[in-house]
């Protein structure tokens, strides 16, 4: 008998007496062969003595052998796709009787797909303006700037001061930099540095305090007042290259400045198009999630919550924050993640179902290209990277990611786009 509630199933399974007795004899024989009992040669102890002395072990081995086998048999007979660890309960195991037990587990949901082609989504091809092109070129120009030493004189706003800097007090670990360049008066420079350096001349030394903001990106300095000793070594000015054909040629295979502008425009267009399409794809999948109602396995939700929390913890660690030192209510945090996890799981299941329906899959060359890209990034042989990715399961995840992205692109291509 089977009880069904959403994705949760419960089976009452019975194993015939004949099968139980056959397995019991098999286990008894195996134990008899390996046990050593006083007064008997190895493997020659009487069966009734072995049965009496090792009854608990025999019972446990029979259950461990028969329960999974009987469960698999019933699942295959019912054609169920199990997605959680089975929970066995109400075990009845007595001599001369069938083995009976209940097992509770979750199965993958049956998803009845509604209409997924022609989803209406706001989208228009992004346009790149001349101002955006020139802004990007100016950023490139800044990267190509030269900083040249100027004749000794007092520092003024706009100068780039090269200083030898060391902390005197205020920090646990000393801060020292023999050659630090600071843009005096710039909004990106802490005001205490600008105020201290303004008016200094090369070879002059000065001590001053710097009050770091609470949200400063270097956590060891955030919120602290540090006293520094600085010696001004040299004053520099920034020289920007002229925006002309020579500038373009220095950057790459461009004949003139107009070619550079066109290349920048195309690159910005690609980036803008990618961003706009990703946003549209997100809206499409949100609409599909809202339009489809089906049960979601709790095991999938729990797994997704774990993935989401691990991602957040890695982000904190990347910012230099130790999550163990934070007063986090993990139960409350997990609860707050539940609805988001449900939608993420639902979206994933829908995309898989649509991919199945449309026969969308990752091609071998697509996976190969990604493996090659990773190998280049790691500067390792492709074959070695592929072997490692296959071993740790990453190759399968790469193929799954490619399939998902292709399915999202299919949905976008077949959507009804409105301005």
DSSP 219: T
Question: In this predicted model, what pLDDT tens digit does every residue of 23-44 receive, in sequence order?
Answer: 988 888 777 777 667 666 666 6
Q: Which 3 state secondary structure label does DSSP give 406?
A: helix
Give yes or no for residue 359 having a pLDDT over 70: yes
- How confident is residue 261, by pLDDT bands cut at 50, 70 and 90? very high
DSSP 242: P
Tokens found for residue 225? 């007042």
Query: 313, 124 in Cβ contact below 8 A?
Result: no
Provide the 3-class DSSP secondary structure of residue 174.
coil
pLDDT of residue 241: 95
The yes or no reply on domain 146-239 and CATH 2.40.50.140 is no
C-alpha to C-alpha distance for 322 and 283, rounded to whole angstroms: 35
DSSP symbol at 261: H
pLDDT at position 314: 82
Rounded distance between C-alpha atoms, residue 63 and residue 67, angstroms: 6
Fold assignment, 252-418: Trigger factor, domain 2 (1.10.3120)
Which burial class, exposed, middle or buried, applies to 27 when counting CB atoms under 10 A from its CB (0-12, 13-18, 19+)? buried
Mean predicted confidence (pLDDT) in 376-393? 93
Per-residue pLDDT at 218 exceeds 60: yes
pLDDT computed for residue 131 by the predictor: 96
- Listed in sequence order, the DSSP H helices in 4-94 are 17-34, 47-53, 55-78
Asked whether residue 62 carries a pLDDT value surpassing 70, the answer given is yes
Arithmetic mean of pLDDT, 368-389 = 94
Three-class SS state of 15: strand
Give residue-wise pLDDT tens across range 301-355.
Answer: 999 988 888 888 888 777 777 777 777 777 887 888 889 999 999 999 999 999 9
Checking if the pLDDT of 150 tops 90, the result is yes
pLDDT tens, residue by residue, 225-234: 999 999 999 9
Q: State residue 387's pLDDT score.
A: 94
Q: Which CATH architecture has domain 2-106?
A: 2-Layer Sandwich (3.30)
Beta-sheet pairing, 416-418 with 120-122: parallel
E strand or H helix at 206, and its extent? Answer: strand 205-211
Mean pLDDT taken over the chain: 91
For the ranges 10-14, 159-163, 231-235, 336-340, the lowest mean pLDDT is seen at 336-340
pTM of the full structure = 0.75
Q: What is the mean pLDDT of residues 62-68?
A: 92
Domain boundaries, the chain: 2-106, 146-239, 252-418
289 pLDDT more than 90: yes
Answer whether residue 361 shows pLDDT above 90.
yes
Interatomic CA distance for residues 269 and 265, integer angstroms: 6
For the cut 60, the answer to whether the pLDDT of residue 1 exceeds it is no
Composition of the chain by helix, strand, coil, percent to 5: 50, 20, 30
Average pLDDT over every residue of 79-85: 91
pLDDT confidence of residue 43: 62
Split at pLDDT 50, 70, 90, the class of 166 is very high
pLDDT band at residue 50, thresholds of 50, 70 and 90? low
Residue 411 pLDDT > 90: yes
pLDDT at 319: 72
Spatial CA neighbour of 130 closest among 265, 242, 274: 265
């Amino acid at each position: 008998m089977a009880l069904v509630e959403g994705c949760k199933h419960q089976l009452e399974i019975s194993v015939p007496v004949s099968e139980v007795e056959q397995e019991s004899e098999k286990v008894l024989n195996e134990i008899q062969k390996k046990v050593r009992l006083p007064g008997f040669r190895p493997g020659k102890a009487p069966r009734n003595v072995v049965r009496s002395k090792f009854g608990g072990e025999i019972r446990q081995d029979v259950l461990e052998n028969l329960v999974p086998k009987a469960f698999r048999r019933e699942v295959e007979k019912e054609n169920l796709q199990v997605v959680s660890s089975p929970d066995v309960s109400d075990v009845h195991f007595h001599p001369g009787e069938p083995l009976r037990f209940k097992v509770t587990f979750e199965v993958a949901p049956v998803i009845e797909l509604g209409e997924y082609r022609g989803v209406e989504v706001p989208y228009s091809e992004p346009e790149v303006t001349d101002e955006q092109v020139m802004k990007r070129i100016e950023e490139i120009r800044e990267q190509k700037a030269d900083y040249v030493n100027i004749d000794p004189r007092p520092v003024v706003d706009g100068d780039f001061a090269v200083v030898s800097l060391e902390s005197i007090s205020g920090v646990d670990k000393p801060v020292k930099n023999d050659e630090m360049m600071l843009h005096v008066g710039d909004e990106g420079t802490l005001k205490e540095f600008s105020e201290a350096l303004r008016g200094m001349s090369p070879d002059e030394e000065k001590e001053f305090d710097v009050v770091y903001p609470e949200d400063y990106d270097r956590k060891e300095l955030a919120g602290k007042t540090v006293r520094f000793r600085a010696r001004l070594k040299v004053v520099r000015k920034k020289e920007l290259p002229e925006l002309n054909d020579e500038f373009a040629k220095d950057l790459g295979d461009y004949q003139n400045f107009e070619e550079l502008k066109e290349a920048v425009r195309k690159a910005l267009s690609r980036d803008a198009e990618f961003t706009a399409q990703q946003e549209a794809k997100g809206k499409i999948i949100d609409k599909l999630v809202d339009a489809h109602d089906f049960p979601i396995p709790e095991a999938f939700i729990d797994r997704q919550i774990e993935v989401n929390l691990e991602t957040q913890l890695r982000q904190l660690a990347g910012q230099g924050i130790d999550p163990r030192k934070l007063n986090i209510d993990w139960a409350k945090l997990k609860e707050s993640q539940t609805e988001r996890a449900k939608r993420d799981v639902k979206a994933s299941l829908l995309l898989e179902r649509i991919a199945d329906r449309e026969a969308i899959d990752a091609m071998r060359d697509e996976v190969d290209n990604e493996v090659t890209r990773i190998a280049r990034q790691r500067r390792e042989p492709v074959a070695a990277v592929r072997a490692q990715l296959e071993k740790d399961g990453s190759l399968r995840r790469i193929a799954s990611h490619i399939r998902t992205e292709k399915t999202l692109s299919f949905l976008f291509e077949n959507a009804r786009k409105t301005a």
